[in-house]
Amino acid sequence: DSGVTQTPKHLITATGQRVTLRCSPRSGDLSVYWYQQSLDQGLQFLIQYYNGEERAKGNILERFSAQQFPDLHSELNLSSLELGDSALYFCASSVRPLAGGPRDTQYFGPGTRLTVL
């Protein structure tokens, strides 16, 4: 168990709909990363937040947005869903300035499997 939690585990929805994926990082971790794993694109970085602020953007569509809240949990919002958005969405966390340990290592949650019908 990595200590990173994601809900829900599975999500089935229709095209055009909007969904929200939730992530709770490991206790004390300040950074949250979102990744998308699809059959044709592999594992792609979407966006990173650090202590509530957006730090970096990757291949994230304009229909997607994210935020990190004061309690450090993060949400990824996917709107106007298309069939091609079906994928496994991972959240990862890193950086434990108080607890120590390697700051560079990202620990992944179990993922949310999104199916768009």
Partner 1 sequence: AQTVTQSQPEMSVQEAETVTLSCTYDTSESDYYLFWYKQPPSRQMILVIRQEAYKQQNATENRFSVNFQKAAKSFSLKISDSQLGDAAMYFCAYRSALTGTASKLTFGTGTRLQVTL
* Interface residues toward partner 1, by CB under 8 A: 2, 31, 33, 35, 42-43, 45, 48, 55-56, 58, 88, 90, 92, 94, 102, 104-108, 110-111, 113
Q: How far is the CB of 40 from partner 1 (least distance, A)?
A: 11
Q: How far is the CB of 80 from partner 1 (least distance, A)?
A: 25
Identify any residues that bridge with 67 across adjacent strands, giving them in sequence order: 75
Q: How far is the CB of 39 from partner 1 (least distance, A)?
A: 11
C-alpha distances (whole Å) from 83 to each of 12, 14, 15, 77, 112 are 11, 8, 7, 16, 16
3-state DSSP call for residue 96?
Answer: coil
Instruction: Give the nearer residue to partner 1 in terms of CB position, either 28 or 110.
Output: 110
Question: Rounded to an integer, what distance in angstroms lies between the CA atom of residue 71 and that of residue 69?
Answer: 5
